[in-house]
Structure 1
Amino acid sequence: MKKDIKAVVLLPGTYSKAKRFPVVYLLHGFSGNYADWITKDPAVKNLADQYHCIIVCPDGAFASWYIDSPVNKDWMYDTYVSKELVKYIDTHFSTIKDRTGRAITGLSMGGHGALTMAIEHQKTYGAVGSMSGCVDLKPYAKDFAINQILGNYEDNPKSWADHSVVGMINQLKPGALKIIFDCGTDDFFAGINNSLHQQLLDAKIPHDYIVRPGAHTWDYWSNSINYQMLFFHRYFDKLN
C-alpha cells in the first residue's frame, strides 16, 4: 500500500537468537489500532513470557476488515498482514519460519480477519482463533463501514458471501487447520458464531467452539485470550 504501518511486537523474557520461537498474530477490532491489546489488556504481555512465544499485534486500520479490497486498491490488508508482515517478522526476529510455528487470532473484525486469512493462507498459518468474530458479513451490510471495502451489498452480494468466513468453509479439509473460536452469550454476534459452529460440524471440520457468559467487551476478550493462547501453545508444543 506504499505506506509505513506500525505494529507491536512482544518478545518473551527467554528470547534469544539462539532459539527459534513460535509467533501468534493478534488482531484488533473495528475502530481499533495496533496498540489496542497492550493498552486495553496489558496482561497480554505476560502470555508471551508464559508460553515462550512472540506476539505480534498488526494494525488493521479503523475498518479494513483485513481484506484485500476488490473495489479500492488502497486497502490491501490481507496481503499486508499475511505476506509482508509475516515476512518482515521472520526476517527480523528468531522465529519458526513455518506454518507449524504460526497462529493468528483476533477479536470482532479481527476474528473475521484471522479466520479468513488463515483459510486463504493455509501454508502460512497452522492454527487460528476468533473471539466474538463477525464471521458472516452479509447481515451487516449497512454497518461497520464494510461497504467501503466490498462495495454496496446490493451491487455484489456474491462478493460479500465469498469474503465471509461462513462462505469459505468449502476451502477447509478436516484437520488442515487447528481452529478455536468463541463468543459470549450476550454478544450481538452470538447467532452467527453458533451458525458457523453448526456448519463446521455438518462439514465434519474439527474445531473447538466455546460459549461462555459475556458480551462484546474487553472484559470478555481479556479472559478469552488466555484460553486461545493455551490452545496455540499445545499446538506448537506438539509440532515443534
Structure 2
Amino acid sequence: MVGNLAFSELWGLKELMLDNNAIEYISERAFGGLTQLRKLTLSGNKLTTFYEDILEDIRSLVVLDLRYNMLEVISYETVRPVVENDKSASTAVYLEGNPLSCNCRLSWIYALRNETQDSTLRNALEKVSCVTDLTQSVTADRHLNDQEDKEIAKDNTLTDDTYDYYDKNEDYTERKFTKKATKLTDIPLETLPCPKELMQTEEYGHPVQNEIRLKAFSSVEKISPCLVLVLIMLLC
C-alpha cells in the first residue's frame, strides 16, 4: 500500500513511476505535497479502487497511467485534475487493461473523446475496454508468474478482445477468472446499461439523458444584469 503523504518531502518531484509493485491500496492523500508532479505511472499493480480526490492536490499532473490494474469503476472526477490541466497542451490518461464494468458510469469517456483536441488523450481513450461477461473456471495452470505480469503491463496495445484476469491473492489460488472485454467505443452509448441504484438517483440516469442535460446546460447563455433587473421590476 501507499500511505498518506508518503512522498511529501519530495516536493520538487516531477515524475513518479510505481509500476509493477503489487500495490493494492493507495490512501486518499498518498500524493499530498507533490505540487510539481507531472507524470504518475501505476501500471501493472493490483489496484481495485482509485479515490476521486486522490489527485486533487496535484495541479501540474499531465500524465496518469493506470493500465493493467483491477479497476472496475473509474469516474470523471478521478481524472479531472489531469484532463482539465491548462498548463500543458498535451495530456494523457491511460486506462486500458482494467476490467471496467460496461455501464453508464463510463459515459464520460465518450464525451471526453469527442470533445478533446488532444490526439494523445483521444487515442488513449479509444483503447479503453470494458467487461460485459464474467465466467469462472478452475485451472491447475500456474504459468502466469510475476515476470509475465510485468510484460503484459508494458504492452500498450489491445491485441485481443478477451483478457484473463487472475485472482492475485498471496496464496496464488488455482482459480482463474476470465472476463470478456470489449472495446468501449465500439458499444453504442445509448445501449450502456445503468445499475438500478444509479437510476434511482438524480446524479445518474440513462447516458443519453445525461448527455442531453449536459448539452442543454452548456448551451444556455448567461443572463445579463439588465435583464435580471427588468425581471425583478416586473415581479414587483
- TM bracket, shorter-chain basis: 0.3 to 0.5
Structure with larger Rg: 2
Higher relative contact order (CA 8 A, sep 6+): 1
More helix by share: 1
Question: Normalising to structure 2: TM-score of the pair?
Answer: 0.35
